[in-house]
């Protein structure tokens, strides 16, 4: 993915949930709802209640990696309850040891340097997204902050096999809006300026870290990618990306000799294709095209960097080989591993691969693949305690919106509710409509913590790739322009109507919830269509589109024209500002008539705390039922397991009161969390008991 596409992805990103497993618990009695629900609840009560800690606590292990030289393996795992980096010599897991010492929010990512001398990870301060790049010596555990600049956001732009000992980093310590490019020496920590950013939305560098192109957002939302001259001043136009293609067209990398650029490109077509542009001749070649979904993943040859396989995700993610050798590898892996597969790391000689395997009913398992001996060895499961849990299948669906648009969606049903496996319960059950964030993101098939948790509690869970979701072609993305609280919301209502018509649920038994844009969709649901939902769960969702856009981080501003201004509006324009407010829940508080649960991160730089504060205060002033929990040490979502357990305990009790599903008592779920219960403890059973001292 190119630097400028990384910036756009940053705007679109909304991932905020994680989970893992422990042991099962006894079922807990539930309040009855309708007769249909009571029948379904009787069935689900035959199955053990999965403990929240098993779902939302830390994984036992995660993110398996192998060093490029094949001498080490690494992974993330808890140490004293906090996620840290662990290493072991290849083939000697008995010598495993932890090499980092985080005691706060934990480490959520890591990778090896190309010379295998260091492990790298990014970490911010309590969710403020001002990431620093850290390097760890796997032999000694010595850790250094390579970007020790207060208030700056570091972006890891390059870790190239062709520049061992050096990484490429973007830093905005000079100008908060712009990331300059620096090379950083891994041994000394010395940084060398490569390019001082004069105002580009992104910079494209090759495998040798030479800036080759720069992207500039235009007022109409289009993107001009220009060549950079030898003196790094802008040169001729390399590519013009119309506004309707910006979210579907990306430079993904260079060939090993830096003479070919690979792209996923939707220009002149709806579904993004994989293309190659010869930089010497200027000739463009279409390598592969998707049928119903954009090409979303590329697997490259380690010597030439040419694509040898690609993935496309419509109902499920599927890999297609481009060479006979890649086809043989895919055949071998798919014949030995059920579910979806992904190669997460490889050694320099390409002998060893780390392969991740997952399915809806089977959380991720990592395998070591020795290509020389054709042996595939299971390494570890991320959530082994869920092996015997009653996890449920996820059903991919193609629903139809009222205007005929196809909405790829995913449905999970409670255990025991669908005896014949036709994706329809024998009797209607309460349902949670769970809306993904972004909105420039998507729901996908696979293990999903929310789906499994809620199904285990007795709810159907439906997730919908409403218009604006990415991966289904640019026409589907662009159908969202101007449709916040409009057709984007209609798609969700149409999915609910489908579920009611199919007997999955009943009109008075549907809740809506989600995070980020999903939180906005929740607020839209309870404020604009309050008669359609029994209650709502809003996690870091904006209550006002005006204050949302006006409070975005400084380094988002160079590319807002192509995303938020184009899709939603520019609050600096009086007419657009008025329209933005009209599509915000804060302007419709009087219409909210159902209970609302709000979860917020106090350091969230994307959807700031004022969004939750303002809405909760307005609802309280009007005597409306709102429960508001803030976490001062979180950002755009909940990373600390103690905070996840606290919020989702409250959510479970909230939904039990609202829809009548079963719930594990809150108990000690708030122990160790930073939760501030700002409003509405009385609306959730058991929350009053923990509210003292948290208000």
Q: Is 110 noted as a catalytic residue in this protein?
A: no
Look at residue 40 in the predicted model and tell me its pLDDT. Answer: 43
| Residues 497-509 pLDDT 10s | 999 999 999 999 9
Residue 643 has pLDDT above 50, yes or no: yes
Q: Is 312 noted as a catalytic residue in this protein?
A: no
Active-site residue, selected from the candidate residues 516, 543, 584, 673: 516
> For the ranges 22-36, 42-56, 319-333, 640-654, which has the lowest average pLDDT?
22-36
Q: Tell me which DSSP letter residue 177 carries.
A: T
- Domains in the chain, start-ordered, CATH in brackets? 3-56+387-691 (3.40.50.1820)
Rounded average pLDDT over 308-319 = 97
Look at residue 31 in the predicted model and tell me its pLDDT. Answer: 28
How many CB atoms neighbour CB 374 within 10 A?
Answer: 9
Look at residue 693 in the predicted model and tell me its pLDDT. Answer: 62
β 626-631/676-679 pair status: antiparallel
Angle (CA) 444 439 539, round 5°: 90
Look at residue 6 in the predicted model and tell me its pLDDT. Answer: 37
Rounded average pLDDT over 635-639 = 96
Decide if 526 contacts 533 (C-beta within 8 A): yes
Which structure tokens are listed for 304? Answer: 């030439």
Q: What are phi and psi of 45, to 5 degrees?
A: -70, -10
Burial track 449-472 (b if 16+ CB lie within 10 A, e otherwise) = bbbbbbbbbbbbbbbbbbbbbbbb
Q: Where are the beta strands (DSSP E) in 468-566?
A: 510-515, 535-539
d(CA 257, CA 206): 9
d(CA 495, CA 500): 9
d(CA 371, CA 425): 45
Distance from the Cα of residue 420 to its chain's centroid: 33
Does an H or E element contain 134, and which?
Answer: strand 132-136
- pTM for the model: 0.93
Does an H or E element contain 209, and which?
Answer: none
Angle (CA) 305 309 313, round 5°: 125
Active-site residue, selected from the candidate residues 67, 180, 636, 674: 636
Residue 253 has pLDDT above 50, yes or no: yes
How many CB atoms neighbour CB 629 within 10 A?
Answer: 28
Residue that has been written with the tokens 């959380």 in this structure: 363
Torsion of CA 146, 152, 156, 157, to 10 degrees: -120
Rounded average pLDDT over 608-612 = 97
Look at residue 451 in the predicted model and tell me its pLDDT. Answer: 98
Q: What are phi and psi of 31, to 5 degrees?
A: -80, 135
Q: Is 367 noted as a catalytic residue in this protein?
A: no
Decide if 607 contacts 615 (C-beta within 8 A): no
SS3 188: coil
Look at residue 480 in the predicted model and tell me its pLDDT. Answer: 98
Q: What percent of the chain has pLDDT over 70?
A: 93
β 62-66/82-89 pair status: unpaired
Q: Tell me which DSSP letter residue 635 carries.
A: B
Q: What percent of the chain has pLDDT over 90?
A: 91
What mean pLDDT value characterizes the chain? 92
Rounded average pLDDT over 225-237 = 94
Active-site residue, selected from the candidate residues 604, 633, 673, 674: 604
Of 538, 8, 509, 529, nearest to 245 by C-alpha is 8
d(CA 79, CA 82): 5
Rounded average pLDDT over 75-92 = 97
Exposed (0-12), middle (13-18) or buried (19+): which is 140, by Cβ within 10 Å?
exposed
């Amino acid at each position: 993915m190119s630097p400028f596409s990384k910036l756009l992805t940053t705007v679109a990103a909304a991932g905020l949930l994680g989970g893992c497993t422990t042991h099962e618990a006894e079922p807990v009695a539930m309040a009855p709802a309708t007769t249909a629900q009571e029948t379904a609840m009787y069935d689900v009560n035959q199955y053990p209640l999965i403990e929240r800690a098993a779902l939302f606590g830390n994984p036992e292990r995660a993110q398996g990696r192998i060093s490029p030289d094949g001498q080490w393996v690494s992974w993330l795992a808890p140490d004293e309850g906090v996620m840290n980096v662990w290493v072991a010599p290849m083939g000697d897991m008995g010598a495993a040891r932890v090499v980092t010492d985080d005691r706060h929010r934990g480490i959520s990512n890591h990778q090896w340097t190309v010379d295998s001398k260091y492990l790298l990870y990014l970490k911010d301060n309590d969710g403020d997204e001002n990431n620093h790049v850290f390097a760890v010596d796997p032999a000694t555990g010595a850790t250094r902050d390579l970007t020790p600049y207060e208030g700056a956001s570091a972006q890891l732009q390059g870790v190239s096999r062709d520049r061992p000992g050096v990484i490429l980093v973007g830093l905005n310590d000079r100008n908060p809006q712009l990331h300059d490019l620096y090379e950083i020496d891994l041994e000394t920590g010395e940084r060398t300026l490569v390019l001082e950013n004069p105002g580009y939305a992104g910079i494209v560098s090759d495998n040798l870290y030479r800036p080759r192109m720069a992207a500039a957002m235009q007022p109409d939302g289009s993107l001009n990618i220009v060549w950079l001259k030898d003196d790094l001043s802008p040169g001729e136009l390399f590519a013009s990306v119309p506004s309707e293609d910006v979210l579907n067209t990306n430079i993904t990398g260079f060939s090993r000799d830096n003479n070919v650029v690979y792209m996923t490109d939707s220009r002149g077509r709806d579904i993004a294709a994989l293309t190659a542009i010869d930089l010497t001749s200027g000739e463009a070649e279409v390598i592969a095209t998707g049928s119903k979904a954009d090409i979303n993943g590329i697997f490259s040859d380690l010597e030439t960097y040419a694509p040898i396989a690609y993935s496309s995700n419509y109902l499920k993610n599927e890999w297609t080989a481009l060479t006979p050798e890649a086809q043989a590898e895919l055949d071998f892996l798919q014949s030995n591993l059920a579910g979806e597969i992904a190669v997460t790391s490889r050694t320099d000689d390409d002998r060893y691969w780390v392969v991740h395997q997952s399915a809806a009913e089977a959380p991720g398992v990592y395998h070591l693949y020795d290509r020389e001996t054709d042996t595939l060895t299971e390494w570890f499961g991320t959530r082994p305690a869920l092996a015997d849990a009653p996890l449920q299948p996820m059903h991919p669906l193609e629903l139809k919106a009222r205007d005929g648009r196809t909405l790829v969606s995913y449905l999970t049903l409670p255990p025991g509710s669908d005896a014949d496996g036709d994706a329809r319960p024998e009797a209607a059950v309460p349902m949670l409509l769970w809306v993904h964030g972004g909105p420039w993101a998507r729901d996908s098939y696979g293990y999903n913590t929310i789906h499994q948790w809620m199904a285990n509690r007795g709810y159907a869970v439906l997730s919908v790739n409403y218009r604006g979701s990415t991966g289904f072609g640019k026409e589907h993305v662009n159908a969202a322009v101007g449709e916040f609280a409009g057709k984007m919301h209609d798609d969700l209502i149409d999915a609910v109507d489908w579920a009611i018509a199919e007997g999955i649920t009943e009109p008075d038994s549907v809740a809506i919830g989600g995070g980020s844009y999903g939180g906005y969709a929740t607020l839209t649901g309870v404020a604009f269509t309050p008669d359609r939902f029994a209650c709502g769960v809003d996690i870091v969702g904006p209550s006002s589109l005006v204050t949302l856009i006006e409070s975005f981080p400084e380094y988002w501003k160079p590319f807002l024209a192509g995303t938020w201004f184009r899709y939603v509006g520019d609050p600096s324009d009086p007419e657009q500002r008025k329209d933005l407010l009209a599509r915000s829940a804060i302007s419709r508080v009087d219409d909210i008539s159902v209970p609302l649960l709000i979860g917020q991160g106090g350091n969230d730089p994307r959807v700031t705390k004022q969004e939750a504060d303002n809405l909760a205060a307005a609802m309280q002033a009007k005597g409306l039922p709102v429960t508001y929990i803030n976490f001062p040490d979180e950002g755009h979502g909940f990373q600390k397991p103690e905070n996840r357990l606290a919020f989702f305990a409250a959510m479970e009790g909230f939904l039990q009161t609202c829809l009548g599903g079963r719930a594990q008592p809150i108990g000690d779920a708030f122990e160790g969390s930073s939760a501030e219960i700002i409003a509405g403890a009385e609306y959730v059973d058991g929350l009053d008991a923990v509210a003292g001292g948290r208000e």
